[in-house]
C-alpha cells in the first residue's frame, strides 16, 4: 500500500534535527531569529499537521509564524522594604505553556480573526517558533461554508483567551480522561471547594 505525501512529511518532522532535515531547519532558524516576532507566511510549513488541525487552502485562512522567548516568568527585582522571601521574584509562574502564549499574542495582533489552532515548527537556544492558524469569521467564503461557519457563534468569540484551542485544552488537563482527571471538568476552578465560614464566638 502506497503512502501519501502527508505521511512522509509527518515522518520527516518526527526527527527534525536528524539527516537532511537538520541542515534545512538550521538555515531556517538563522533567518527566523532575525525577523520580527510575527510574520505572515503564504503556506504552512507542516502541511500534514496544519490539515489535521483544521487548515484549508481557501480564502479566509491565514498562517502567522510567531516567535516566543523561552524560559520562566521574569520580574524586576524589588529593592526596598521587603525581605528576600517576600520580593516575589522566584517561583513566579505564568501557568501557561509557550504555545498558548504565542496564540494569545497573535490574537491581540490580529483582532479581527480567531485562532483556530497552532503547531510547533522549531526552536533555538532563546526562542521557540509556532505557526498559528487564523480564520476570519466574517469572510464570505467562511460564512457560506457549512463546515466552517460554526466559528461565527458567540460561544467561539475570543476562544484562544478562554483555553478552547488544543494548546489551551492541554494546559487545562482536558486531554486526560479517567483516573486522576476527576476534577478537571468543567474546569479546575469550578471544582475548588470553598471553605465554609467558621462560626463566630458568641459571648455568653
Which string of DSSP letters, residue by residue, matches the chain?
-PPPHHHHHHHHHHSTTSHHHHHHHHHHHHHHTTS-SEEEESS-SSHHHHHHTT--SSTTEEEEEEEEE-SS---PPP-SS--GGGS--TT----S-HHHHHHHHHHHH-TTSEEEEEEEEEE-SSEEEEEEEEE-TT-HHHHT-TTTGGGGSGGGTTGGGGT-SHHHHHHHTTT--STT-TTSSS-TGGGPPPPPPPPP----
Q: Which residues of 40-49 are buried (b: 16+ CB within 10 A; e: fewer)?
A: eeeebbbebb
Mean local confidence (pLDDT), 149-167: 92
- Rounded to the nearest integer, the mean pLDDT of the chain is 87
Residue 83 has pLDDT above 90, yes or no: no
159's grid cell: 476562544
Mean local confidence (pLDDT), 149-156: 91
Determine the pLDDT at residue 193. Answer: 62
Q: pTM value?
A: 0.83
Determine the pLDDT at residue 93. Answer: 74
Determine the pLDDT at residue 70. Answer: 87
Task: Please check whether the domain covering 5-157 is classified as CATH 3.40.1120.10.
Answer: yes
Q: Cα dist. 161→68, 97, 101, 102, 194 in Å?
A: 17, 13, 9, 11, 25
Domain boundaries, the chain: 5-157
Amino acid at each position: 500500500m502506497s503512502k501519501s505525501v502527508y505521511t512522509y512529511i509527518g515522518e520527516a518532522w518526527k526527527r527534525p534535527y536528524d539527516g537532511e532535515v537538520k541542515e534545512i531547519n538550521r538555515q531556517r532558524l538563522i533567518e527566523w531569529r532575525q525577523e520580527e516576532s510575527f510574520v505572515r507566511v503564504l503556506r504552512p510549513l507542516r502541511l500534514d499537521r496544519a490539515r489535521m488541525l483544521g487548515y484549508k487552502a481557501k480564502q479566509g485562512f491565514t498562517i502567522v509564524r510567531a516567535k516566543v522567548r523561552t524560559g520562566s516568568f521574569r520580574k524586576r527585582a524589588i529593592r526596598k522594604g521587603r525581605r528576600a522571601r517576600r520580593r516575589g521574584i522566584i517561583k513566579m509562574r505564568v501557568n501557561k505553556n509557550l504555545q498558548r502564549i504565542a496564540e494569545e499574542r497573535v490574537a491581540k495582533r490580529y483582532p479581527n480573526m480567531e485562532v483556530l489552532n497552532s503547531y510547533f515548527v522549531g526552536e533555538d537556544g532563546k526562542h521557540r517558533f509556532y505557526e498559528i492558524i487564523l480564520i476570519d469569521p466574517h469572510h464570505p467564503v467562511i460564512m457560506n461554508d457549512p463546515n466552517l461557519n460554526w466559528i461565527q457563534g458567540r460561544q467561539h468569540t475570543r476562544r484562544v483567551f478562554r483555553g478552547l484551542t488544543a494548546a489551551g485544552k492541554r494546559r487545562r488537563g482536558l486531554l486526560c480522561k479517567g483516573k486522576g482527571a476527576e476534577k478537571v471538568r468543567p474546569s479546575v476552578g469550578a471544582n475548588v471547594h470553598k471553605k465554609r465560614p467558621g462560626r463566630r464566638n458568641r459571648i455568653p
